[in-house]
Structure 1
């Protein structure tokens, strides 16, 4: 009787949102590169979005290794735009990581990540927008995307996913991601909130969102790079003061007739050109491919054919380590294990730079303000050695929100050591926790996995950092 009632409820919900087809999903018990059965539950699949389901979004879903029925559900959105969720899974917060030390160019092996966020949460890793990872379109007209379009697709994906997984409808839901996800995460969260208010089914248990090293306003974020470089002793007091005074604190789009400002900026550019923006203490590798002209894309990728495995020192370059994902994801046995549809993606790339994508949202600030006003919780964290999106830029827009400071700047510790610094802001029922992660770069969990797991564990448990 109970099963019958659940089936009728499921059919009713399908009818209510007009789903044309049920999600395609498969449980994956083993993967090439990992010996034996996976010690966690992994599901992969596709969900169609768009007018005629022409866009097929691919996902990896990993159940919590703790209590799946009670632990929160996270939708994880990587940056780029166009960087596969698989990158977040194996290089940041998932339970598997590549054995970099023993990688020789053949199919890489996996090791378990003891600091996976699946220790405390269920996580959907979504390949978005269309053309990212294993997500594809049935028609050429389905490939062009944008901030607003991909947000709508992600929202539709989540509605359909929850209908196909009704057991997770009551789990606390958090939209999460990093880098360019700083734009999309709050947009998706607000879309969910509006859908709930409009009574669209299924009603989602949205509690808040999580963003790391987030891009929020392109010009404002970039404008803090020079003050950050000064604070981190990359430029001198004199060089910074010359730029500050002659440019009036505006460094991104200087007046072309302001010769003093242009000269000051050229000096600073010369002093910092060999600094790795993603992590100022790590080498800027000679094999890095050129950045696209659009400065919003912060995650630089590297072609596999540039990898020289004869020199083991090259693997010390973080970007070169990403070659493991290329080799693995383009292996035919891997695609069979993941249940990838044949003929849909010929060459998998970690970050697709050839997307047809329109950047149609200038700033995500208003989305944060609206979400705060509606009482949602937010965790915003920044690796403090990231110069691409300096923590100072993130803290600056948080302080502009209609919030009041509740907990002043203080250290948060892990195992008796300072793991970073934190502040808490409140607005009625809403709270925003800001945290730096000491020593981390652009995608903080990649550099400090232990500290980041403790951070998310405490925040999800409503425990102070």
Structure 2
């Protein structure tokens, strides 16, 4: 593996874990009626030199058997998207009530298909500058995907030091979208740390990836996806393939290749107005932020859009909730952390150093870790064809051939399992990311997998 993977060990051995965490249990949340029906803890853990990076997290006990159930660290994509996305919109035990916004604090209700029914989950705001995580110095605000991975490793070590009751639980790392890049790196770092005896020993068993970013060529599969979905004609697809020679990324196209550029212009025209996170849903524009809309306007906008469902109407509620003073006090958010909370901070000072993590998957396959990789099959952001391509590149033998998997007797997707203990699954009708669009199917999928059952 790259030498950069190992430079963290010298730093790690010198770090002091004492007094590095600040935590607290929360029994009530503004917007939720009555006491929370689950254990919620929030807190900050300081990482990096002098703990100048302060990472914020939400921790929820398994609602079954927290003492013995697996512990999972969940990372949202972006990079820079708050873990509130995973907590409130994907796999957590609460969600916003789906009603028109009326200017008051959005209401929260219980989610019956939460992955916390069978797993302890830490939802982490990472990298620095994401969600409520913050830097105490300008230098500490700079990050990259290797530093992100080292920070995540330091976080889980320090978190376990202050939660020793979970140190023997089976440990998994999960996440979606961009987190498909750092998760294999983090898993490798944890494995390396265990092998050389860094304490505490982390009982890692595997990882879970949804609609994961994995290698640079993934964008090339969008055109194949568009053709398969009937968004472009067979003729245009064939012309694109031959004129561009299978390479459609703008930075790699010869500017003198006029035919390729003309075909790409036709392709862009065809997909203009397509909602790429889920191609069957109505196009709702390029932004979800309500900042440009006065509070009193959102309910009116929803009425104007009542002819179709716009998912952004729900994600906007997070802005009003997370920026409420009472909510921040309840969550114990430090006043010096951030100003206005935003769901996805795309203005991070962040770079991607390693952009192809297939070698990490290959190396991890030799360590007997389990892995679940799944794709919403209507996601055009990271098409399922690209995920299947890099899995095939690993070269492992298929031990459970491509077949359907079902929920309530209905096909929920298709799955294949490989000799490296990797299970791949599509989620029929799922988008980017799948649990947000198909919560019941993804709940059943994860429950079967985490219990060691075939999908």
Structure 1-normalised TM-score? 0.91
Question: Which residue in the other structure is 2:244 paired with?
Answer: 247
Report the alpha carbon displacement of residue 148 of structure 1 after superposing the two structures with TM.
0.6
Paired residues of 1:216 and 1:365 also in contact (CA < 8 A): yes
SS of equivalent residue, structure 1 residue 180: helix
Matched with 1:425 is 418
Aligned counterpart in structure 1 of residue 227 of structure 2, from 211, 227, 230:
230
**Structure 1 contact 243–249 (Cα < 8 Å) conserved:** yes
SS of alignment partner, residue 192 of structure 2: helix
Deviates more, 1:448-457 or 1:134-143: 134-143
Count of residues in Structure 1 that have an aligned counterpart in Structure 2: 436
Q: Indicate the residue corresponding to 2:434 in structure 1.
A: 444
**2:445 is the counterpart of 1:455:** yes
Q: Which residue does the alignment assign to 1:187?
A: 185
What is the distance in 1 between the residues matched to 2:255 and 2:396?
37
Q: Which ranges of structure 1 fall in alignment gaps of 5 or more residues?
A: 1-13, 290-300
Deviates more, 1:71-80 or 1:105-114: 105-114
Query: CA contact under 8 A between 2:100 and 2:299: conserved in structure 1?
Result: no
- Once the two structures are TM-superposed, the CA of residue 302 in structure 1 deviates from its matched residue by 2.3
| Superposition deviation, residue 19 in structure 1 | 1.7
Deviations 1:106-130 (A, max 9, x none): 2100111100000110000000011
Taking the aligned partners of 1:22 and 1:221, their CA distance within structure 2 comes to: 39
User: Aligned pair in 2 of structure 1 residues 74, 320: CA closer, same or farther (>3 Å)?
Assistant: same
> Within 2, Cα distance between the matches of 1:387 and 1:442?
8
Correspondence for 1:375 among 352, 368, 379: 368
Describe the superposition over 1:415-436 as per-residue Cα deviations: whole angstroms up to 9, x where unpaired.
0000000011113xxx110000
* Aligned-partner SS, 1:403: coil
The equivalent residue for 1:11 is none
Q: Does the 8 Å CA contact 2:174/2:208 hold for their aligned counterparts?
A: yes
- CA 1:275–1:169 in structure 2 vs 1: closer, same or farther (change >3 Å)? same
- The Cα of 1:16 is off from its aligned counterpart by 8.6
Describe the superposition over 1:262-316 as per-residue Cα deviations: whole angstroms up to 9, x where unpaired.
1111111111111111010112213x23xxxxxxxxxxx4243336321324483
Offset of residue 15 of structure 1: 9.8
Query: Given that residues 90 and 97 in structure 1 are in contact (C-alpha distance below 8 angstroms), is that contact kept between their aligned partners in structure 2?
Result: yes
SS in 1 for 2:49: coil
Decide which moves more: 14-23 or 352-361.
14-23
Within a 5 Å distance, the mapping from 1:399-438 to structure 2 comes to: 399-427=392-420, 431-438=421-428
Q: Deviations over 1:161-205 (max 9, x none)?
A: 011001111111111000001001111111111110111000011
Name 1:266's counterpart in structure 2. Answer: 265
- 1:341-352, aligned counterparts within 5 Å? 341-352=334-345
Aligned twin of 2:61: 63
Separation (CA, whole Å) in 1 of partners of 2:328 and 2:394: 45
Q: Is the Cα contact below 8 Å between 1:228 and 1:387 reproduced in 2?
A: yes
Counterpart Cα distance in 2 of 1:304 and 1:383 = 29
Q: CA deviation at 1:18?
A: 2.3
Structure 2 distance, partners of 1:103, 1:93, is: 23
Q: How does 1:12-411 map to 2 (within 5 A)?
A: 18-218=16-216, 220-252=217-249, 253-286=252-285, 288-289=286-287, 301-306=288-293, 308-313=298-303, 314=305, 316-411=309-404
- Post-superposition CA distance 1:409-461 (Å, at most 9, x none): 1000000000000011113xxx1100000001011000000000100000001
CA shift at 1:367, angstroms? 1.1
Give distance in 1, aligned partners of 2:26 and 2:215.
Answer: 39
Q: How far apart are the structure 1 equivalents of 2:272 and 2:444?
A: 34
Residue 50 of structure 1, CA deviation: 0.6
Moved over 4 A (4+): 14-17
RMSD: 1.5
What SS does the corresponding residue of 1:245 show, helix, strand or coil?
A: helix
CA distance in 2, matches of 1:330, 1:64: 28
Give the conservation status (yes or no) of the 8 Å contact 1:280–1:387: yes
The alpha-carbon deviation at position 217 of structure 1 amounts to 1.1
User: 2:130·2:344 contact (CA, 8 Å) conserved in 1?
Assistant: yes
Structure 2: how far apart are the matches of 1:366 and 1:424? 19
Please list every run of 5 or more consecutive structure 2 residues that lacks an aligned counterpart in the other structure. 1-11
Specify whether residues 16 and 204 from structure 1 end up closer, same or farther in structure 2 by C-alpha distance, changes over 3 A only. Answer: farther
Query: Are the counterparts in 1 of residues 17 and 161 from structure 2 also a CA contact under 8 Å?
Result: no
